[in-house]
Structure 1
Amino acid sequence: MPGSPAGAEAAVARAHGHPDGFPEEAAGVPVRRRSLLASAALAAAAPVSVAACSHGPGGSKPERYPPPRHGAVPRLIAVPEAHRNIDWLRSALQAAVEIEFSTLPPYLCGWWSIENRTCQAARLIRRIISDEMYHFGIVCNLLAGVGGRPRIRESAPVYPGPLPGGVHPGVDVYLSGLTRALVRDVMMAIEAPAAPLTDSAREPLSIGRFYDAVLQAFRVVAPDLSVDRQMHERIDEDTLTPVKTLEDVERSIEVIKDQGEGTSASPTDGPGDDHVAHYYAFAEIYHGRQVRETDGEWQFAGTPIPFPDARPMSVVPAGGWDEPPAEARRLLDAFDSTYTAVLDALDTAWAEGDPRSLMTAVRHMRRLEGPAVDLMEMPLAGTEETYGPQFRPLG
């Protein structure tokens, strides 16, 4: 991973032929959907314009099956459609659970670090966090609906590191305060449309295409959908509801795709919604302007979005903070203890169909902010940066 956000900026800048860093972003930069970086030091693939791009049944006892590891998604995609059975669906949906959950810690760190939470950038990130919680709930409901049990603590993400399942190879997800490098190399990279799942794929596969494969498997397998352990809960602007029919499955998967990468025709996240999809919302923060359609082309030429002042949380190193001072250790332990309680409550919610456990998880999640912000205001010795949460489950 880059040694620091500034290091990531410089590495990509050099790959683009700018030895001293990126030139100033000009207003009216055209929106592009581009493949992910093969690594933080490689330039993106040739850009493509938006206009050219597309994007235990029956209440049975939950079955045990091998959890996906890094590389699981390419292996699942490689299985011929005719051989994608109920076990394939369960494995694919567990991979989806891991992918959706893994977005939350880096997005939360970026949001918590912003000093003025009323600014436009903070509001955009807060909405995306809410959407990701909703997407996580959807895939947990889908997995429970086909007789599976979401394994959340067992598969908790490790930072820095790749995204679960082998999606977006070369993207190293790290935790830090909000910087332009974090926005581009982590936030935009996670949400980017048409990013390859495998380096060797003849045709690049995106997370959206992975969800297309999941939906096609639902259509072929036609499993009975149990609602026994599915959750029903309001999540900000969205309502998580049990998935009962194939039409519910189709609608749920389309919501995840559109809110993340936009529709095939525009950066918006669906008809009748004035929100832009996550990729373009992050790109607005990065470019400093809202995306607007001008003369048939979407461009970052709208209202300015100033990059916000943020607490200078350093990149969390591999293995976590080494020998932090006593007060930082106390805050880290408090944070990780609460984070572990969040994971345990989420596991219980979908293992037992217990809405009280889901509410317990939500309460614990709200308590993470206090120690996180306190850590972000504690200087790292010998630097101008600060500590921050490391999201490491205890035990």
Structure 2
Amino acid sequence: MATGILDYGSDAIVQLMDVAEEDWTEQELKDALQRAIMLELSTIPPYATALWSITDPDNSKPVRHTIREIIFDEMSHFGLVCNMLTTIGGKVVLTDPATVPKYPGQLPGGVNPGLEVYLGGLSRESAALFAAIEKPEHPLGFAADGNTIGAFYQRIANVFPKFAGLITGQRQVDVQLTSHGAGNDVVPMNHIDDVLAAIHVIQTQGEGTDASPENPFPGAPDELAHYYAFKEIAVGKKFVPVGQKGGFDFVGPDIPLPDTSPVARIPEGGWINSPGNEPDANTAGLLHDFNQLYSQMLRALETAWSDSGDGTVDPAPQLMGKMRKAAQKINNVKLPLDPHFTYGPEWLFLP
């Protein structure tokens, strides 16, 4: 099962982007969709770790609300791409050790080369990292470079119609998430138009449009696309219109950071690999509990899209709620070497 194309650390997306659109095969489309699933999944641990480091539990508070809604968007994107893969006969793979996210490290497939994604508490720096993950091909008002997630999805959108005849509508999951945004329902892919509409939602929720930084499928009025929402938190200023030519800049009202647990960056392979900060038995137990819940969630999601599944993802939200509580217990434990910082969840898959 652990093929080169599935290897999280490979540059498979870069390789796929180098293949001319007219030369893509059915297998390359399936590989691209599996890679897109891995991409969507890879954003959730860093975003959730930052969210769960916020100590005020009020989900209506601005920064907490913003990050929480973005996580719901990412979950929706993940589900939509899983439906795209299974409707053409592909198999969603989440529990092969080769496919699970690894931190710190680059995004899967070589997207945004050189960007190191890490797990840690919310800060201006981590918000800047999240903005870099969501970077549009052409951000409003300034230049971008490198391969972006949006460009990869555009390639999938360009190629998919050639394989529209493969669409079966089989093994589809249907989840109502409209309360988090007009485009957030995970809907079945029964026609090529369903696929292209879903890709449009994924692209514009993450990047905005060429004309506006706003999320065109918001959960609340004036919600920004992920890139600009994270950039606001990183800069500490609202992104507002400037001048008479439709420009925007980060010169609006201040955005204060909420109080957080000072979660340190989680080392590669977990805290056992941090000399002097190796967890004691109690902390190791808390870390293991979280990792076990995370692993159960991946298994539940994989099963939902499998031949043996019942098409429901109901266990996953419940497990995420338990993961949040487990993470907050971990966030309360100070590091032995530097008690100004605390442990954080490792997000390690337990085979």
Matched to 1:176, the amino acid is: G
The residue number in structure 2 matching 1:50 is none
| Residue 148 of structure 1, aligned match among 90, 99, 102 | 90
What residue is the counterpart of 2:194 in the other structure?
248
In 2, the alpha carbon distance for the partners of 1:375 and 1:269 equals: 33
Structure 1 counterpart of 2:211: 265
Q: CA deviation at 1:353?
A: 6.8
Work out whether 1:365 is the aligned partner of 2:303: no
Determine whether 1:316 maps to 2:263: no
Within the alignment, does 1:298 sit opposite 2:267 as a pair? Answer: no
What code does the residue aligned with 1:358 have? V
- Structure 1 stretch displaced more, 171-180 or 111-120: 111-120
Conserved 8 A contact 2:52-2:324: yes
Output the CA distance in 2 between the equivalents of 1:279 and 1:353: 37
CA distances 1:83-121 after superposition (whole Å, capped 9, x unpaired): 212111100000000000000000000000011243211
1:349 corresponds to 2:299 = no
1:75 is aligned to 2:15: yes
- Secondary structure of the residue aligned to 2:305 is helix
**How do 1:1-395 residues align onto structure 2 when only pairs under 5 Å count?**
67-69=5-7, 70-118=10-58, 119-154=61-96, 155-184=99-128, 186-194=129-137, 204-235=146-177, 236-237=179-180, 238-270=184-216, 274-295=222-243, 296-322=246-272, 323-352=278-307, 354-355=309-310, 357-383=312-338, 384-395=340-351
Pairwise CA RMSD: 1.9
Where does structure 1 lack aligned partners over 5 or more consecutive residues? 1-62, 196-202
Task: Point out 4+ residue stretches in structure 1 off by more than 4 angstroms.
Answer: 63-66
| The 10-residue stretch of structure 1 (288-297 or 84-93) with the greater mean CA deviation from structure 2 | 288-297
Contact 1:86 1:223 in 2 (8 A): no
Q: Percent identity?
A: 37
3-state SS of the aligned residue for 1:82? helix
With the length of structure 2 as denominator, give the TM-score of the two structures: 0.88
What does residue 275 of structure 2 align with? none
Compute the displacement of 1:168 (Å).
Answer: 0.8
Separation in 1, partners of 2:155, 2:117? 25
Question: After superposition, what is the alpha-carbon deviation per residue over 1:124-146, rounded to whole angstroms, capped at 9, x for unaligned?
Answer: 00010000000000110100111
Letter in 1 for 2:322: R
Q: Do the aligned partners of residues 268 and 338 (structure 1) sit closer, same or farther apart at CA in structure 2, a change above 3 Å counting? A: same
Pairwise CA distance, 1:355: 4.6
CA shift at 1:206, angstroms?
Answer: 2.2
Following TM superposition, by how much is the alpha carbon of 1:66 offset from its aligned partner in structure 2, in angstroms? Answer: 5.8
Code of the residue aligned with 1:73 in structure 2: it is I
**1:97 and 1:136 in contact (8 A); partners too:** yes
The C-alpha deviation readout for 1:125-174, integer Å capped at 9, x for no partner, is 00100000000001101001111011012211011111111111111111
Conserved? CA contact 2:164–2:191, under 8 Å:
no
Looking at structure 1, the residues matched to 93 and 240 of structure 2 have their Cα atoms a distance apart, in angstroms, of: 41
Q: Is the 8 A contact 2:103 2:268 kept in 1?
A: yes
The 3 A distance-change label for structure 1 pair 353 and 127 is farther
Alpha-carbon distance in 2 for matches of 1:205, 1:392: 27
Change over 3 Å in CA distance of 1:231–1:356 after alignment to 2 = closer
Structure 1 residue 222 displacement after superposition:
2.5
2:185 aligned counterpart, secondary structure = strand
| DSSP 3-state at the match of 1:298 | strand
Equivalent residues of 2:113, 2:147 under 8 A apart: no
Residue identity opposite 1:192 in structure 2: K
Indicate the SS of the match to 1:293.
strand
Q: Secondary structure at the match of 1:255?
A: helix
C-alpha displacement of 1:356 = 6.2
Instruction: Give 1:65 deviation, angstroms.
Output: 7.3
CA shift for structure 1 position 219 = 1.7
**Equivalent residue pairs, number:** 325
Q: Which amino acid aligns with 1:321?
A: W
